[in-house]
Chains A and B, each alone.
Chain A
Amino acid sequence: MNQNILQLNEIKRDFIMGSETVHALKGISFNVASGEFLTIMGSSGSGKTTLLNILGCLDKPSEGSYLLDGIDVSKLSRNELAIIRNSKIGFVFQTYNLLPRTSAIENVELPLMYNRAVSGRERRQRAMEALEAVGLSDRMYHMPNQLSGGQQQRVAIARAMINQPVMILADEATGNLDSRTSYSIMALLQDLNQRQKRTIVFVTHEPDIASFSNRTIVLKDGKLLRDHINENRRSATEVIAALPKAEEA
């Protein structure tokens, strides 16, 4: 818990739009320790997406340093960033982003396809374990269009875990789901966080969802507005139990 997985120091990101320079991030610093469940909140235009892209190693800061698992990412090349994404980050998207007409297990295997060190047999084995961990062991060979939204997001979470990343980066991962399904996804993430000690960074704009994490960062106009520990963290499992009875999502 003491080791810092993410170390952000005075991160700035400027975009040049024609003759104007837009300062999307104006110097952001924070650390994330291993095993934390962090939510990043902010309205649109707050720099949330830009920060997410930098955290996900899809983009590089204009200024400042970003250390991911001790590696200074801001100095890496395009190819080196790809390797970092492959080995250290697991992405979960709002729109699931599963490959169409490709079975759940093959979707989960995808990140390991780009890792030469893992054999085909091991890849399949790990994909099965990941799907079991998200409770989809009976849906392994289903195509995405045969799965519900919640199930698709579970497949995406399994995919994010398969390369044993140091951080799972979720971008509005419950944005397309109804509240019951959202809670069950949050329950799954809480479970991964608590039992497997996974570090999770969750970007959202719903305070409701943020209350399931143990720390929240709020951005405004490219600056850090608030960084606080959630004293009364809610358990998603209990919230679901308290909901009026309905069919399983």
Chain B
Amino acid sequence: MNLANLLKIALKALRRNKLRAFLTMLGIIIGVASVIAMLAIGQGSKQSIQGQLSAMGSNMIVIRPNSNLQAGARLDATSVQTLTLEDVKALQKKGTFLSAVSPSASARGQVIYGNNNWPTSIQGVNTQYLDIIREWKLSAGANFSEKDINTEAKVCLLGQTVVNNLFQHGEEPVGKYVRFAKIPFLVIGILSVKGENAFGQDQDDIIIAPYTSVQKRILSTIYFQNIYASALDENTTEAASAEISSIIRTSHRLKPSDEDDFAVRTMQELIKTFSSTSQLLTILLAVIASISLVVGGIGIMNIMYVSVTERTREIGLRMSLGAKGRDILFQFLTEAILISITGGLLGVTLGITATRMVTYFLSWPTLILESSILLSFLVCVITGIFFGYYPALKASKLDPIEALRYE
């Protein structure tokens, strides 16, 4: 018996019991739809976390001083000062996996404009920090130049939060002077809005200035709190991080037995930690959803058994007319697969619709991967074959004499 005939017979059998076929399919429909929706929600939250972390600069590497043993006493990390311009220059010269390196010196304090003031922090960096390391655009004005760094120029870039608090009447900030630690800084640019980072800190509550200006004019120090670097791409962050360690160890003239007096942190590590959490969530959701798919499969098996029993006489007749066991097996298998494929297709449709509705009504981030659609559909077809096989096998093994006389 060829495929077209098998399909015809299966369709006819399903049409005879439309409601029953639909109810059987419903199990599969709900199973497939929930797998797709759950995976979409899991993937969506994963992507959104990754996106937020990437917005901080996914290639970014932070180097900070680390507490080390001095005269037998462990010192607090923040009070340790080991990073200098020498380190920055060494990294810039020797780093092969680094696209940019910037020192960072920051101070907290009140910024004043006219009769408004606002507590914020000022971060001194070089010209590469915004462009390359943070990939942070300006919404107005221009970045400072190398010349500004060399001359310790009193220029600054304001974050949007600072602008909102100092310029409450909509004045144009660029070209105005703001005072920080009694020093007047000329505003030469406004940073574009970056929003909160993954930890809920307002990234726009900041003033950016040349590191020399902050270091010399405000902090009066030769040390930096941090050095920021950027790896060439996401895949080289590991290598870059190792390279940085070795360069700074050399620069700090540490003996092999000495422990690092600095620490290197990459954003990738952070992303990995968060991703693994959401990955776990995704798997958990998918497993729960798969259970409903299996339950749907059992529904198919159940109804196929009923169908085989109901149609025992038909099976006997077909056998007496020359149907081989194989023909009967395929007939019932086709029916089961047809139920599961139709259910699968409807489930995919329902799953996508449900996902869209979750995004629309609940504003949850969702992401439907083609692979998850393919996966759930395949699982559903395999379920159909698996759970349809035993009833079909039972049908194919019937004795035609007994089947014909079955009441």
Interface contact B401-A83, CB-CB below 8 Å? no
Interface contact A59-B401, CB-CB below 8 Å? yes
Distance from A187 Cβ to chain B, minimum over Cβ atoms (Å): 25
Interface contact A111-B324, CB-CB below 8 Å? no
Interface contact B317-A58, CB-CB below 8 Å? no
Interface contact A97-B327, CB-CB below 8 Å? no
Interface size on B, residues (CB 8 A): 22
**Interface residue? A75 (CB, 8 A):** no
CB within 8 Å of A: which B284-342 residues: 313-314, 317-327
Interface contact A111-B322, CB-CB below 8 Å? yes
Interface contact B401-A58, CB-CB below 8 Å? yes
Q: How big is the A interface, by class? A: 20 to 34
Q: Bound state CA distance, A99 and B4, in angstroms?
A: 19
Distance from B309 Cβ to chain A, minimum over Cβ atoms (Å): 16
**Interface residue? A56 (CB, 8 A):** yes
Interface contact B322-A93, CB-CB below 8 Å? no
Interface contact A101-B322, CB-CB below 8 Å? no
Please encode chain A, from 70 to 112, with 1 for each CB lying within 8 Å of some chain B CB and 0 for all others. Answer: 0000000011001101110001010001010110000000110
With A82-B319, A85-B320, A101-B16: A113-B5 Cβ-Cβ less than 8 Å: yes
Q: Bound state CA distance, A116 and B2, in angstroms?
A: 8
Q: Bound state CA distance, A93 and B320, in angstroms?
A: 11
Q: In chain B, what residue has the closest Cβ to A82?
A: B324
Contacting residues, chain B, for A120 (C-beta < 8 A): 4
CB within 8 Å of B: which A32-89 residues: 53, 56, 58-59, 78-79, 82-83, 85-87
**Interface residue? A115 (CB, 8 A):** yes
**Interface residue? A114 (CB, 8 A):** yes
With A113-B1, A113-B5: A79-B324 Cβ-Cβ less than 8 Å: yes
Contacting residues, chain A, for B314 (C-beta < 8 A): 99
Q: Bound state CA distance, A111 and B318, in angstroms?
A: 8
**Interface residue? B12 (CB, 8 A):** yes
Q: Bound state CA distance, A111 and B323, in angstroms?
A: 8
Interface contact A114-B327, CB-CB below 8 Å? yes
Contacting residues, chain A, for B325 (C-beta < 8 A): 78-79, 82
Please encode chain A, from 155 to 171, with 1 for each CB lying within 8 Å of some chain B CB and 0 for all others. Answer: 00001000100000000
Contacting residues, chain B, for A101 (C-beta < 8 A): 12, 16
With A53-B401, A116-B2: A97-B322 Cβ-Cβ less than 8 Å: no
Interface contact B404-A82, CB-CB below 8 Å? no
Interface contact B12-A85, CB-CB below 8 Å? no
Interface contact A93-B404, CB-CB below 8 Å? yes
Q: In chain B, what residue has the closest Cβ to A79?
A: B324
Please encode chain B, from 5 to 31, with 1 for each CB lying within 8 Å of some chain A CB and 0 for all others. Answer: 100000010001000000000000000
Contacting residues, chain B, for A113 (C-beta < 8 A): 1, 5
Q: Please pick, from A53, A87, A99, the residue contacting B322 in the complex, using a CB distance under 8 A.
A: A87
Contacting residues, chain A, for B321 (C-beta < 8 A): 85-86, 91, 110-111, 114, 159
CB within 8 Å of B: which A7-47 residues: none
Interface contact B400-A58, CB-CB below 8 Å? yes
Contacting residues, chain B, for A85 (C-beta < 8 A): 319-322
Distance from B313 Cβ to chain A, minimum over Cβ atoms (Å): 7
Contacting residues, chain A, for B400 (C-beta < 8 A): 58
Q: In chain A, what residue has the closest Cβ to B9?
A: A113
Contacting residues, chain A, for B327 (C-beta < 8 A): 114
Q: Bound state CA distance, A114 and B327, in angstroms?
A: 8
Distance from B336 Cβ to chain A, minimum over Cβ atoms (Å): 20
Contacting residues, chain A, for B318 (C-beta < 8 A): 110, 114
Contacting residues, chain B, for A99 (C-beta < 8 A): 314, 317
Contacting residues, chain B, for A116 (C-beta < 8 A): 1-2
Distance from B318 Cβ to chain A, minimum over Cβ atoms (Å): 7
Distance from A96 Cβ to chain B, minimum over Cβ atoms (Å): 10
Distance from B131 Cβ to chain A, minimum over Cβ atoms (Å): 71
Q: Bound state CA distance, A79 and B327, in angstroms?
A: 10
Interface contact B322-A114, CB-CB below 8 Å? yes
| Residue from B4, B317, B323, B325 whose CB has the most chain A CB atoms within 10 Å | B317
Q: Bound state CA distance, A113 and B314, in angstroms?
A: 14
Q: In chain A, what residue has the closest Cβ to B326?
A: A79
Please encode chain B, from 364 to 407, with 1 for each CB lying within 8 Å of some chain A CB and 0 for all others. Answer: 00000000000000000000000000000000000011001000
A-B contact pairs, 11 of them (CB 8 A): A58-B401, A82-B323, A85-B321, A93-B404, A97-B313, A110-B318, A114-B321, A114-B323, A114-B324, A114-B327, A116-B2
Which B residues contact A (CB, under 8 angstroms)?
Answer: 1-2, 4-5, 12, 16, 313-314, 317-327, 400-401, 404
Which A residues contact B (CB, under 8 angstroms)?
Answer: 53, 56, 58-59, 78-79, 82-83, 85-87, 91, 93, 97, 99, 101-102, 110-111, 113-116, 120, 159, 163
7 nearest A-B pairs in the assembled complex, by CB-CB distance: A86-B322, A114-B322, A82-B324, A111-B321, A97-B317, A85-B322, A79-B324
